Amino acid sequence: MTMTFETTEIVGAAYWASAIFNGDTSGMEEDDIAIYEAWMERELGSEWSIVGIVENEEGESEEPWFSGSFGFHTGWDERGITGGDCLTYVAMRPAKAE
Protein backbone atom coordinates (compact mmCIF):
# COMPACT_ATOMS: atom_id res chain seq x y z
CA MET A 1 0.00 0.00 0.00
CA THR A 2 1.41 3.35 -1.04
CA MET A 3 0.96 6.28 1.30
CA THR A 4 -0.12 9.48 -0.41
CA PHE A 5 0.10 13.03 0.85
CA GLU A 6 -1.75 16.29 0.38
CA THR A 7 0.21 19.51 0.13
CA THR A 8 -0.76 23.13 0.56
CA GLU A 9 0.97 26.50 0.59
CA ILE A 10 0.77 28.81 3.59
CA VAL A 11 2.06 32.39 3.76
CA GLY A 12 3.83 33.36 6.97
CA ALA A 13 6.52 35.65 8.32
CA ALA A 14 9.95 35.08 6.80
CA TYR A 15 11.68 35.54 10.16
CA TRP A 16 9.77 32.53 11.53
CA ALA A 17 11.76 30.13 9.31
CA SER A 18 14.29 29.33 12.05
CA ALA A 19 11.51 28.54 14.51
CA ILE A 20 9.62 26.47 11.94
CA PHE A 21 12.53 24.36 10.73
CA ASN A 22 14.87 24.34 13.74
CA GLY A 23 12.56 24.98 16.68
CA ASP A 24 14.73 28.04 17.47
CA THR A 25 12.74 30.94 18.90
CA SER A 26 15.76 32.47 20.66
CA GLY A 27 15.68 35.69 18.61
CA MET A 28 11.96 36.25 19.12
CA GLU A 29 10.18 38.42 21.71
CA GLU A 30 7.34 36.94 23.80
CA ASP A 31 4.74 38.65 21.56
CA ASP A 32 6.45 37.18 18.48
CA ILE A 33 6.32 33.68 19.94
CA ALA A 34 2.65 34.01 20.92
CA ILE A 35 1.68 35.21 17.41
CA TYR A 36 3.84 32.50 15.79
CA GLU A 37 2.29 29.75 17.93
CA ALA A 38 -1.25 31.03 17.25
CA TRP A 39 -0.47 31.10 13.51
CA MET A 40 0.87 27.53 13.61
CA GLU A 41 -2.28 26.32 15.38
CA ARG A 42 -4.64 28.28 13.10
CA GLU A 43 -2.94 27.34 9.83
CA LEU A 44 -1.72 23.81 10.56
CA GLY A 45 -3.64 22.37 13.48
CA SER A 46 -2.43 18.90 14.38
CA GLU A 47 -2.55 17.34 10.90
CA TRP A 48 -0.26 19.51 8.77
CA SER A 49 3.54 19.82 8.96
CA ILE A 50 5.63 22.43 7.19
CA VAL A 51 8.17 20.64 5.02
CA GLY A 52 9.75 23.41 2.97
CA ILE A 53 9.55 26.73 1.21
CA VAL A 54 8.01 27.17 -2.23
CA GLU A 55 10.60 26.85 -4.99
CA ASN A 56 11.03 29.07 -8.03
CA GLU A 57 11.42 27.86 -11.63
CA GLU A 58 15.12 27.11 -11.02
CA GLY A 59 14.30 24.83 -8.07
CA GLU A 60 15.61 27.25 -5.46
CA SER A 61 13.65 28.34 -2.39
CA GLU A 62 11.87 31.62 -2.95
CA GLU A 63 13.37 34.77 -1.49
CA PRO A 64 11.40 36.62 1.19
CA TRP A 65 9.00 39.13 -0.33
CA PHE A 66 7.33 42.20 1.13
CA SER A 67 3.59 42.10 1.71
CA GLY A 68 1.41 45.00 2.70
CA SER A 69 -0.93 42.26 3.99
CA PHE A 70 1.70 40.88 6.39
CA GLY A 71 -0.65 41.40 9.34
CA PHE A 72 -3.41 39.46 7.59
CA HIS A 73 -1.10 36.54 6.78
CA THR A 74 0.50 36.32 10.22
CA GLY A 75 -2.00 37.59 12.77
CA TRP A 76 0.03 40.71 13.50
CA ASP A 77 -2.82 42.91 12.19
CA GLU A 78 -4.34 42.66 15.67
CA ARG A 79 -1.31 44.61 16.90
CA GLY A 80 -1.41 47.20 14.11
CA ILE A 81 1.47 45.82 12.03
CA THR A 82 0.43 45.65 8.40
CA GLY A 83 3.61 45.23 6.32
CA GLY A 84 6.56 42.85 6.46
CA ASP A 85 8.62 40.16 4.73
CA CYS A 86 6.86 36.86 4.03
CA LEU A 87 7.64 33.41 2.69
CA THR A 88 5.32 30.85 1.18
CA TYR A 89 5.75 27.67 3.20
CA VAL A 90 4.82 24.20 1.92
CA ALA A 91 2.85 22.02 4.31
CA MET A 92 2.00 18.34 3.99
CA ARG A 93 -0.30 15.79 5.64
CA PRO A 94 -1.25 12.19 4.91
CA ALA A 95 -4.12 12.05 2.41
CA LYS A 96 -7.47 11.10 3.85
CA ALA A 97 -8.84 7.77 2.67
CA GLU A 98 -11.83 8.05 0.38
**Containing domain of residue 52, as a range?**
5-94
Domain count, the chain: 1
- How confident is the model at residue 73, as a pLDDT? 81
| pLDDT at res. 98 | 65
pLDDT (tens place) for every residue of the chain, 98 residues total: 688 999 999 999 999 999 999 999 999 999 889 989 999 999 998 899 999 999 999 999 999 999 988 877 887 666 666 788 999 999 999 987 76
d(Cα 75, Cα 35) in Å, to the nearest integer? Answer: 6
User: How far are the Cα atoms of 15, 34, 48, 60, 88 from residue 53, in angstroms, in the given order?
Assistant: 13, 22, 14, 9, 6
Check residue 80 and give left, alpha or beta (phi > 0: left; psi -120 to 50: alpha).
left
- pLDDT (0 to 100) of residue 6: 94
| pTM of the model as a whole | 0.86
